[in-house]
Amino acid sequence: MSNLTRWEPVREMMTLREAMDRLFDDAFTRPFSTSGDSVIPAIDLYQNADEVVVKAALPGLEAKDVQISVTADTLTLRGEIKHENEQKEVTYHIREHRYGMFERSVMLPTDVQTDKAKADFENGILTITLPKAEAVKPKTITIKAK
């Protein structure tokens, strides 16, 4: 007798999804991912009860080289990684640094108070803190017992 195993396409899809997750994880482990000749900074976006925080890895840049804009539910980072002087009489064996303009836009998970936003830049990490709008903050209601 042979053992027959029922084919379940959903199980196959999960392995494909895991493979795609691994591919994206590998692609975004560098501070800047590359898409052709463009440069896209890696970011972390998270929220807590009071604020939304975005951290962007921008090694080699200074605060004056980055522009931040928040409109409605979208945060946009713009800047330029300037090309250092290229040496003419050298042979590059590996050249992975990317130079040029970049722009990265992300959808914010909730409404924020743009007028109270703060941005800090330290050791190549840009941290943007956006307080949540009062309407979306969780409210606690006390119960009065009789």
Six-digit token string for 141 = 């209601």
Mean pLDDT check: name the lowest of 2-11, 43-52, 117-126: 2-11
Which one, of 51, 72, 75, lies nearest residue 130 by Cα? 51
Higher pLDDT, 27 or 16: 16
Instruction: Give me the domains of the chain, ranges plus CATH numbers.
Output: 9-136 (2.60.40.790)
What share of the chain has pLDDT > 90, as a percent?
27
Instruction: Indicate if the alpha-carbon torsion angle 15, 19, 24, 30 is positive or negative.
Output: positive
Record the pTM: 0.65
Alpha carbon 31 to its chain's center: 10
Model confidence at 112: pLDDT above 60: yes
Confidence bin at 11 (pLDDT 50/70/90): low
**Mean pLDDT along residues 64-93:** 85
CA distance 115 to 131: 9
Six-digit token string for 75 = 């945060």
User: What's the pLDDT score for residue 22?
Assistant: 72
Beta bridge pairs of residue 75: 70, 106
Beta bridge pairs of residue 71: 74
Helix (H) or strand (E) segment spanning residue 58: none
